[in-house]
Amino acid sequence: MTRSDFDGRKALVTGAGSGIGKGAALRLAAEGAFVGLLGRTERELRETLDEIRALGRDGMVLIADVSRADEMQAAFEGFVAQTGGLDILVANAGINGTWAPIDELMPDEFDQTVAINLRGTYLTLHFGVGQMKENGGAIVVVSSINGTRTFTTPGASAYSATKAAQLAMVQQLAVELAKHRIRINAVCPGAIETKIEDNTAVRNRAGAEEPVEFPNGDIPLTDGEPGSVEAVAEAIAFLASDAASHVTGSPLWIDGGQSLLR
């Protein structure tokens, strides 16, 4: 992958104010893309934009709740009106939500996780694909090892269901979008150093947990240490680049072997 891969390309990243979304936005910008930074917290998005401009690159802030169709439509239309198109789309925004035994997980808690993680992904693709059909492009959905290769996080039934559904959407759409020269893939991170725990509510973990003894340090590649945002961002950049021109409908697990032990 060379610097020219993203020169002149227009990218949009949801959840770009922190964590993996911010890392992906910075990585794409560093390689030359103009990046739309979509999220709900303007202060965080402005900070990401400042860091992009410090690299000598540029982007724009797009304030939207990924679960709101009207806000997402306005954000995508505003982005394309300014840039003239959309080449790369990263559907990253998501929450852990509430982790609790299924009989204690309240309907509104389940609905919130689905609204942001799954409806948010649908709306991102719904409004993004229409802007990409004419010229093609690349989409990366940020899923997880949860729901795709592991099912051991106590109480994470809503979260795991949304992550499994994201991968199913990616594989379904890989065929649908191929005729438009749009590639779509998923990254499935394990433990990564982000602040996603800030939007996690854990209740009665013991009620949903099946006691299991894992090896000391359950991430074998790093002796139990979580991976970095940069490692995930690098994978996203690869999947969005011409180096992955024949890759579509594929999950890429980024977990240091964690899911192979669990």
Residue positions annotated with a catalytic role: 159
Tell me phi and psi for residue 261, to 5 degrees: -95, -20
Angstrom distance (rounded) from CA 33 to CA 174: 23
Angstrom distance (rounded) from CA 256 to CA 253: 8
Angstrom distance (rounded) from CA 106 to CA 103: 8
- Characterize 18-42 residue by residue with b for buried, 16 or more Cβ atoms within 10 angstroms of its Cβ, and e for exposed: bbbbbbbbbbbbbbbbbbbbbbbee
| DSSP, res 150 | B
Alpha helices by DSSP H, listed for the chain, are 19-30, 42-54, 69-83, 107-114, 120-132, 157-178, 205-208, 229-240, 258-261
- Of the CA atoms within 13 Å of residue 95, those in its CB half-sphere come to 24
Q: Which of 38, 179, 52, 157 is nearest to 101 (CA)?
A: 157
Angstrom distance (rounded) from CA 19 to CA 260: 24
